[in-house]
Amino acid sequence: PTDVIDIQKWMIDRIKEASIVVCYLEKQNPGGYSMAFEIGVASTLNKPVYIVDEKQEKYFAITKASTRQFDTIDELIEAIES
């Protein structure tokens, strides 16, 4: 999808299908604004939210809405596999 509304509908459908939602805030990510939308949808649907916050700036209040928070993608993978 290329239209903003179509992208949001696509994201909502994927979140509905998911058993958990992973938000990955990479160091190179300049904003992470769509992450707030994804977390809001997941929270509304009572889906667990795992956030990887590589930026470690902790300025996103939304990261506090997560079920679990990780500093690296490797930590997340380890937690899921265990």
Coil, strand or helix: which one is 82? coil
DSSP states of 23-65? EEE-TT-S--HHHHHHHHHHHHTT--EEEEESS-----GGGGG
pLDDT of residue 2 exceeding 80: no
**Would you state the pLDDT for residue 11?**
93
Reading the block at residue 71, the tokens are 């500093």
pLDDT digits (tens, 9 = 90+) for 16-75: 999 999 988 887 776 667 788 888 899 999 999 998 888 766 556 666 778 888 888 899
Q: Which residue type is seen at 63?
A: T
Reading the block at residue 70, the tokens are 């990780």
